[in-house]
Structure 1
Amino acid sequence: MNTILGQNEINLLINLILSLFAGFIIGSERESRGKDAGISTHSFVITGAMLFTFLSSVVDPMSTSRIAAQIVSGIGFLGAGLILKEGSNVRNLTTAASIWYAGAIGMAFGFNYRLIGIMATIAAALIPKIPHINKKNPEL
């Protein structure tokens, strides 16, 4: 009996849905703060990392670490392009970090570690809610 969707396709579909949902959750928080990298960017990064990871694990399960290393460096390059330094002020550092973190979430989904990806997405939604400590006034 031939089926249209095999186990790989079902896993890919589930991972795709989870990746898009995670990108929406993280990206909507960044957009709500007026940042350039929002829903689309985070969805692309998470989904792209998931696809590269998933495909590498299906095509050549013995060499997934090579693809993973390239994902990390490629996303680091994207994040570096977001960071702006004006005098002593640094802008978009948190957005760059969220892009890098999003890649890790995509890789978790790509390796079918769905619970880790979901927990990391929840953490990403909670991290921006942590109160900031005034770094310019060490007495606080």
Structure 2
Amino acid sequence: MSASSAALAGAAAFTWLGMVLAISFLEAPLKFRAPGVTVPLGLGIGRLVFRALNIAEAVLAVAVVVAVATGSPTDAVTVLTAAVVVVLAVQLIAVRPALNRRSDRVLAGEDLPRSRAHHAYIALELLKTAGLVALGVTTLAAAV
């Protein structure tokens, strides 16, 4: 893999990782602990924040894919790239719509328990986080 392609892919992967860590593992759980934040208010904020995060993730995923595709990647880089992109796609196509339907119901006044889709999203975030760490390290190691 060329040094410049590897450096770009690594930078994009670590930027993506930082955003996931900051939003999914810091902002999301902490907002519900802030004084005066109700569940409907927290859900409204969360939907807005995660929509923005997912758009940024999609842009970074494209940047990683382009950098990897133009750089004669190793098999490990190719597999890791595919893995994080597939996890993101599953989140966006399968899990987020279910979460949005559930939050619509809560915002309409229903009192619902935590959904399985929420647990699935968290599990996928953990997988994506591990994949992004591995991808960033692997691509940057190829850059030197």
TM-score (norm 1): 0.35
Higher strand share: 1
Q: Which has the higher contact order (CA 8 A, sep 6+)?
A: 2
TM-score (norm 2): 0.34
Higher helix share: 2
